Structure 1
């Protein structure tokens, strides 16, 4: 059971990245239990049912593109409870001054508390620690200009149709 629990928790960590990059509120909320909480950086602990819609709506309004990854996950499971630490990197582009685009690269860690309720693993609490960040300007390579930005936030991203195509096959 422990290896299956770890596999599911790891999958939920990866779905978190997808939810954040696509600004998918429903997917993001599905990772937590309904009474879940989160503390990002130095902010107070918040109810995710309020925090996630606020953050992801703001992300759609202010971010050009984001890319989150989670790595080096250490997961400990005991019965129907688990804790984990995972390293996260996030790369974001957003409008800067005078029409420029700035890039921000974050190095963080997620300290998570999980539980399995009614056979479903979900987050009870996430604490996000920022280990470092950098900011730079973005200048796309001319040869890649046409291919840059094909991904987008929301259900218009090509991944939604791609993942749904499996349902049409059977």
Structure 2
């Protein structure tokens, strides 16, 4: 490969790995796989979130206390840009974060938020990791009182009965369900 081809390939691979990291964060939150979440940060990682500001080693326990109050979440990544400079990068990812819980008329538990994740990332021996993240809230709207009862379809679950874990276990040939994220 010529130098420019190698540079282009490195450029593409870095961006795809960073995009996967952002998506892995969303999956870890939505499936309450908080051990996997911790692995996405550097050991000295920091998170600035609504209601939390500090080291990731305190962020994960904070989430363990918060997540049992929610029936579910869904984080959907939209626009994503990454600027790589050697072994450091800055990524900006727009997301829509949906939260729901019982009682479904509580606006503190039932809302949709538009956020931007602004990440300072570093390349480590195990891949790209989040050194520092800012979850910047752009907007929020309550869904309180909108209800959740739908009939038909496959019901989502944060537990081992979710179809994701059975499929991953079959493809991997080993159990895939993570250790419980909520205690």
**TM-score (norm: length of structure 2):** 0.79
- Give the Å deviation of 1:58: 2.0
Contact 2:52–2:59 (Cα < 8 Å) also in 1: no
1:167 aligns with 2:172: yes
- Give the Å deviation of 1:76: 0.2
Correspondent of 2:151 among 126, 141, 145: 145
Correspondent of 2:58 among 35, 50, 55: 50
> Greater share of strand residues, 1 or 2?
1
- 1:14 is paired with a residue whose SS is helix
- Where does residue 181 of structure 2 map in the other structure? none
Gaps of 5+ in 1: none
Correspondent of 1:4 among 8, 13, 27: 13
Correspondent of 2:25 among 16, 39, 55: 16
Contact 1:24–1:154 (Cα < 8 Å) also in 2: no
Q: How many residues align?
A: 162
Gaps of 5+ in 2: 1-9, 175-183
Contact 2:94–2:116 (Cα < 8 Å) also in 1: yes
- Where does residue 116 of structure 2 map in the other structure? 109
RMSD: 2.2
**TM-score (norm: length of structure 1):** 0.85
Question: Which moved further from structure 2: 17-26 or 117-126?
Answer: 117-126
Correspondent of 1:67 among 61, 71, 74: 74
- 2:158 is paired with a residue whose SS is coil
